[in-house]
Structure 1
Amino acid sequence: MLQRIEEIDHRIEEFAKDQGRPTSKTFSNKPPFTDNVLSAPAPKGFKMPPVPQYDGTTDPVDHLETFRTMMLLHGASDGFLCRAFPTTLTGASRDWYSRIKPNSISNFEDFGDDLVRHFTSSRRPRKTAVFLMALRQEDNEHLKAFVGCFNREALQVPNLDPSTATNALLACAKSNNFQRSVARLNQHSLAGLIAGAEEYISVEETLAALDSNRRRTSEEKNPTKQCRDDRAPRRKRSPHRKEESYTLLNISRRCILAAIKEEDFVRWPAKMLSKGNKRDKSKDCRFHRDHGHDTDEYRHLKEEIELLINKGYLKKYVIDDGHQRERKERSPEG
């Protein structure tokens, strides 16, 4: 009976070999390393660093570089790298390691290359210079933010030629002045190109700040000009009208101004240009909010009220049409 079972097991193994499938014998208990690897000593006081486990579903190159960097910090030799690496494998990658032929791995570089070839489908796509050429600076994107974005993407392109990076940056940026500046850099590295671009941006920002300070200083020295700009455009001077030509009102203009001062349709005059010490301080103008003349006498207030009447805003302050016609008939101009 035992002999019969052994014959069946032998046939299953032969069939599996013909089909290219692993059998129990393909999982060897012997390590896949050569004698020089097995005899490599561990660093003095070595404690395994917390390297993430690799299951074959992510980029194998990233895992290899992480492992190598952390182990070299502890002074691990090439042979000890080979011996320690299997402790970071799990799942599919552990199955792959278990099938490696005994006495076939003599150095970590070949060990890593085998891992990358086996899990090449898990590698993340590497960006190329073509990707950089497709970048574009948006209309509302600040140049400094765009250069930072370009730099981050360019760092992901392996072995990027500086001239290719320069051409890509020239094609992507919108500023003609920036493009001319970058073209003159003639840098031989990506770091030099980005440093030159950031220097241009720094100069531009400094000039913009200086220009803003000059404008602010000019506005502080000329407050009347700023005040005039913030108000309604100044009206052209019109010939003096006689009092009889204005619409008759049922209350004083000072009272009308007090009643409508909070309304949006009122156009307030610009600040008075004449020096305050040369104006009559006994007279106060509520329309100008300054001294020098009386509110009711101020011609621009008369014109403003007349304009608002014609626009239909102040009809309740107008005396009836009969009195208006009678007044005009008595007027010498009538």
Structure 2
Amino acid sequence: MNAPKVDKVKMPTIEPFAGTTNPDEHLAAYAAQMSVQTSCEATLCKYFPTTLKGQALLWFQKCVPKGSIHSYQNLERVFVSRFKHAASKKKTSVNLMAVTQGKTETLQNYIRRFNQEYLKIQNLPDETALTAFLVGLSSSDFKFKLIESGVSTLTEAMERAHKNIQAPEVCGTSRENNPPKKKRKHENEPSRSQPSKRSNLITNHGNDPRYNRNRRQIYLDIKEKNMLPRPPVVRTPEEKRDKRHWCEFNRECGHTT
């Protein structure tokens, strides 16, 4: 093959391939730099070894017979076949479905992790990506509204998600610019001329029979319900107590309930 003069083609500046990374990614990076300079296959083959290092360069120099490469496509096939073991396992929709939002994770961080995994999957149908995004969202008002709105593409869902992220920031700014009015002092205090609600609750029981009985009868009604604390110890000496009076609460004589 006849290649152009060296001074007309710039040496590629991509990261040299050592045989431990994805060969397809290396070929894509090489083609991106060289395609703007030349489409000559002989030139592509000639400069390709300059992008190799370590074991990959030794392989090319010692294991690829001279004259065995007849086209750049042929070189690509030989190169990928030799180093395909170094390529990372291909991601699928199953990997994307595994990305879920944590209980305390922000929507913004979930979207970042989702996109990182999404970009690793090739030829993924948009409806599959949208389903994975919705399934991964934690239960929230936003998820409910998103499904209720009937979004049909991942792009539309992402646009709504970003608006949802920005909304609190906008509202926060609005609240700062328009702080709520402070209540006047004593605004909530009851008027001196009117009885407080608390006093009404205590004294105004109407004709409710529950509040028209004496304390002893009330105690007898509730003593088995464990509603009262333990009674205090009676400190009056027994000889000084009035034996005619009996307290159901203290279970002692000397006073009434």
TM-score (norm 2): 0.61
Equivalent position to 2:27, from 59, 64, 75: 64
Distance 2:89 2:32 in 1: 22
Deviation per residue, 1:268-316 (Å, 9 max, x gap): xxxxxxxxxxxxxxxxxxxxxxxxxxxxxxxxxxxxxxxxxxxxxxxxx
Q: Residue in 2 aligned with 1:126?
A: 90
1:202 aligns to 2:159 (yes or no): no
| C-alpha RMSD over aligned residues | 3.2
> Are 1:86 and 2:49 an aligned pair?
yes
Which amino acid in the other structure matches residue 150 of structure 2?
R
TM-superposed deviation, 1:204: 6.3
Q: In the superposition, relative to structure 1, how do residues 145 and 236 fare at CA in structure 2: closer, same or farther (>3 Å)?
A: same
SS at match of 1:62: helix
Q: In 1, Cα distance between the equivalents of 2:118 and 2:18?
A: 29
Pair 1:214–1:46, CA change in 2 (3 A): closer
Q: Distance in 1 between matches of 2:42 and 2:144?
A: 51
Q: Deviations over 1:8-34 (max 9, x none)?
A: xxxxxxxxxxxxxxxxxxxxxxxxxxx
Counterpart Cα distance in 2 of 1:169 and 1:149: 11
Q: Which residue of 2 aligns with 1:181?
A: 146
Letter in 2 for 1:108: Y
Aligned to 2:180: 219
Q: Distance in 2 between matches of 1:213 and 1:168?
A: 35
- Match 1:150 to one of 84, 107, 114: 114
Identify the residue that residue 39 of structure 1 maps to in structure 2.
2
Paired residues for 1:315-326 under 5 Å: none
Residue type at the aligned position of 1:52: E
Task: Tell me the SS of whatever aligns to 1:224.
Answer: coil
Query: Which one has a bigger Cα radius of gyration?
Result: 1
Please give the secondary structure, in 2, of the residue aligned with 1:53: coil
Task: Find the residue that maps to 2:70 and give its secondary structure.
Answer: coil
The residue number in structure 1 matching 2:40 is 77
In 2, Cα distance between equivalents of 1:202 and 1:143: 11
User: What is the aligned length?
Assistant: 189
Contact 2:45-2:72 at 8 Å conserved across structures: yes
Q: Does 1:96 align with 2:56?
A: no
Question: Which ranges of structure 1 fall in alignment gaps of 5 or more residues?
Answer: 1-37, 188-192, 229-234, 240-334
Contact 1:42 1:80 (8 Å CA) reproduced: no
Say if 2:108 and 2:165, in contact at 8 Å, map to a contact too. no
Greater mean alpha carbon deviation, residues 62-71 or residues 129-138: 62-71
The CA deviation string for residues 187-229 of structure 1, in whole angstroms up to 9 with x for no partner, is 2xxxxx1453233441564377448846984722x4338x97x
Distance 1:212 1:93, change over 3 A: closer
Q: 2 CA distance for matches of 1:137 and 1:199?
A: 17
Can you list the C-alpha shifts for 1:114-144, whole angstroms capped at 9, x where unaligned? 1111112211222211011111101111112
Are 1:167 and 2:128 an aligned pair?
Answer: no
Q: Answer yes or no: is the 8 Å Cα contact 2:107–2:165 preserved in 1.
A: no
Secondary structure, counterpart of 2:21 in structure 1: coil
Amino acid at match of 1:159: N
Partner amino acid for 2:184? T
C-alpha contact 1:46 1:74 (8 A) present in aligned 2: yes
Contact conserved, 1:43 with 1:75, CA < 8 A, in 2?
Answer: no
The verdict on how the C-alpha distance between 1:166 and 1:92 changes in structure 2, with shifts beyond 3 A counting, is: same
Percent identity reads 28
Note closer, same or farther for the CA distance 1:107–1:205 as it changes in structure 2 (3 Å cut).
same
- 1:92 is displaced (CA, Å) by 2.1
- Helix, strand or coil for the counterpart of 2:29? helix
User: Which residue identity does 2:106 align to in structure 1?
Assistant: H
Give the C-alpha shift of residue 165 in structure 1: 0.5
